[in-house]
Chain A
Amino acid sequence: MNSNNLLLEIKNLKVSIEDNIILDDLNLKIQKGEIHAIMGPNGSGKSTFSKVVAGHPAYSILGGDILFKGDSIIELSPEERSHLGIFLAFQYPIEIPGVSNEDFLRLSYNAKQRFFNQPEVDPIEFLGIVTTKMQLVNMSPQFLNRNVNEGFSGGEKKRNEILQMILLDSDICILDETDSGLDIDALKVISNGINNFMTKEKGIILITHYQRLLDYINPTYVHVMQNGKIVKTGSSELAKELEDKGYQWLNTD
């Protein structure tokens, strides 16, 4: 495959927090047009992986590299990574009292516009842009006037994450357990949002515990992470097998 198609490359990544090694010799390549699912038991390092790619300051990179479209990003600030096109849908979207969702979304949108020397949009123009996107995830416009994630139900928070993903139109999106805590209807809405968003130019990493998300989104690869590295890679069949046999099955392999 042409290396120009490579979106994200994780090379021998070793990461610690407070002297505990969380990721150890992690390797992963995401090409344009691919959806990768990462599964694995609790504490295997999946969420750490997503935060490290996004540049969370609490983690130290001890070795290895993260390349985005061929360039190392480990020295870049979280906001630069965001502008370049890396998006993280949080497992637990943060509540921000006193800040309206509308202001938050507009600032975020305009920050990216500014980064690419594009004109910033005014609040009225933005309202038009955002309401069309909200329809894609079945969100009513009243969510714009509420404070960011404050008092949102679990499903509303996750839809708000997908809305931001669509709005920022990032190239590589990491969805950290976006399916957890969703009822079946919400899961369908969110899966639809993700499927519509996906193009052959983008890449998506789905971190999940459950095979059921993969009933709606068809991954190119399924990886299993254990003790901070990827121990097994396969097709979507692997997810079904894990669902039946559990992670213990891998250790007895």
Chain B
Amino acid sequence: MINQSNKVINNSLTKLVNKSYQYGFSTNIEKDIIEKGLNEQTIKLISSKKNEPPFLLKFRLKAYKKWQTMNEPEWAHLKFPTIDFQSIVYYSAPKSQKKLKDLSEVDSELLKTFEKLGISLNEQKRLANVAIDIVFDSVSIGTTFQKELSEYGIIFASISEAIQDYPEMIEKYIGSVVPIGDNYFSALNSAVFTDGSFCYIPENVKSPIDLSTYFRINDQTSGQFERTLIIADKNSQVNYLEGCTAPQYDTNQLHAAIVELVALDNAVIKYSTVQNWYAGNEYGKGGIYNFVTKRGLCIGNNAQISWTQVETGSAITWKYPSCLLIGENSQGEFYSVALTNNYQQADTGTKMLHIGKSSRSRIISKGISAGNSKNSYRGLVQMTDKALNARNYSQCDSLLIGNCSNANTFPIISVQNSTTRIEHEASTSKIGEEQIFYFLQRGISLEKAIELMISGFCKEVFKKLPLEFAAEADKLLSLKLEGSVG
């Protein structure tokens, strides 16, 4: 089956070999913007523009109050100038925001943008076995396959739509996994989020196709604050994919998202991300500040949540997709490849909080640092007194390329009962000149050599990615590393 990821690969190979970041263009389009700056008025305006029910405005204002009392976290291994929250545009939407009946009604400039990104919104795309919700700056501009999915009882919509159509479900679940005051950026997001995706899989349904969100930041001064909420009812299953790109500006833009997953009894959610925000140039100028809170709640017995992420973009990444393992026998997984080059900084990892009896978690983290970048793994495995016979296995490997890159791991293990089993393995290695020379002497090119070694290093994570993502991820990593060795 032809799918759009193959198209992405072809695009990246043919036209983009000489370009380090192929998604760096911006789209000129008439926008509906709320003046930059953050106050109660901004929040009320966002809420009224979206015609939201009163409970949500209350939620937002409560979050805003909370946020004002909080401080930016400083514990991460990251260095960046203070963010001026008053100079950010909190709402930027392409004009002509009437409700679209059909994706063919999407503005032609926007359609072209997504064609260029390798994502086709027109009918041909129906060959692809993936339904997409597209978020452009602050709003969702369309969701595909909605009708087909509804035949299975699956709700897949932008969160704005869901707020209108299923307010009781939103009210019940929003903030239930990531509370408003969880952290500084979750409070900010809760106050100003503008769109995102919503998905509900009913009891006993296995989603027939993969669902996905594609995030695009276009505007130079706007921040993107989206929110994704996925609920998998009893015995249901869904694979969710997420991709992100942004134009190349020499200023930094803020992306502060929240993803909440809820898995009831026997439900399985697999959430995969290929994050390729603009990372700044080779001197570290520009790039996205990516502060994301992702958390999954395994509330039901035997519930499973699996996070897989390939983080290659952003100037700053601050992200810890986590699992709250409450149900008995519930399972949390975290598979991560984080690659940093030039002056990128990543502080990423996971939290596995074990509450349910016999809950299990598995953490596989692969960090690759090249150039002058800093790459840190930060993890917490917590076994509470109730989590009898719980188990965890963690493996954190770092790969250094060149002599100026930096890799750290900060694993924390906290155990409050004596019946648990925890294993932790870690390693650090380096791609050296001698390894490269060995390949070259055997006639294998530098590019191929790096690709082989990187994909060998990341094998355990890549095999967890959906097929269409895995090949793309492989290619992406080699492109990103071009010129960093030898």
A107, B440: Cβ atoms under 8 Å?
no
Contact of A168 with B443 in the complex, beta carbons under 8 Å: yes
B442/A108 in contact, CB under 8 A: yes
| Interface assignment of A164: CB less than 8 Å from any CB of chain B | yes
Interface of B (DSSP majority class): helix
Q: Are B443 and A96 in contact (CB under 8 A)?
A: no
Interface string of A165-186 (1 = CB under 8 A from B): 0001000000000000000000
Q: Residues 399-426 of chain B: 1 if any A CB is under 8 Å from the residue's CB, otherwise 0?
A: 0000000000000000000000000000
Size category of the binding interface on chain B: 20 to 34
Q: Is the CB of B457 within 8 A of A57?
A: no
Contact pattern, B 427-438, Cβ under 8 Å of A = 1, otherwise 0: 001000111011
Question: How far apart are the CA atoms of A147 and B435 in the complex, in Å?
Answer: 13
Q: A58-B433, A94-B434 are in contact. Are A108 and B443 (CB under 8 A)?
A: yes
Alpha-carbon distance between A57 and B486 when the two chains are bound, in angstroms? 9
- Set B433, B443, B456: member contacting A79, Cβ < 8 A: B443
Cα of A97 to Cα of B443 in the assembled complex, Å: 19
Q: B452 an interface residue at 8 Å Cβ cutoff?
A: yes
B452 touches A107 (CB 8 A): yes
Q: Which of A115, A147, A168 contacts B456 (CB 8 A)?
A: A147
Interface residues of A in 81-111 (CB under 8 A from B): 82-83, 87-88, 90, 93-94, 96-99, 103-104, 107-108, 111
**Could you tell me if A82 and B443 are in contact, using CB atoms closer than 8 angstroms?**
yes
Chain A residues contacting B437 (CB-CB under 8 Å) are: 51, 54, 56-57, 78, 94
Verify if A112 is at the interface (C-beta below 8 Å from B): yes
Q: Which of A46-98 contact B (CB under 8 A)?
A: 51, 54-58, 77-79, 82-83, 87-88, 90, 93-94, 96-98
Least CB distance, A18 to chain B, in whole angstroms = 14
A88 contacts across to B, CB distance below 8 A? 441
B441 / chain A contacts, CB cutoff of 8 Å: 54-55, 78-79, 82, 87-88, 90
Q: Which residues of B contact A56 (CB under 8 A)?
A: 437
How far is B455's CA from A155's CA once the two chains are assembled, in angstroms? Answer: 28
Closest to A80 in B: B443
Query: Is A82 a contact partner of B429 (Cβ separation < 8 A)?
Result: no
Q: Which residues of chain A are near B429, meaning CB under 8 Å?
A: 97
With a CB–CB cut-off of 8 A, which chain B residues contact A54?
Answer: 437, 441
B442 touches A99 (CB 8 A): no
Going nearest first, the 3 A-B pairs with the smallest beta carbon separation are A98-B456, A78-B440, A111-B443
Q: Chain B interface (Cβ within 8 Å of chain A)?
A: 429, 433-435, 437-445, 448, 452-453, 455-457, 459, 486
8 contacts between A and B (CB under 8 A): A79-B440, A82-B443, A88-B441, A111-B442, A111-B443, A115-B443, A147-B456, A168-B442
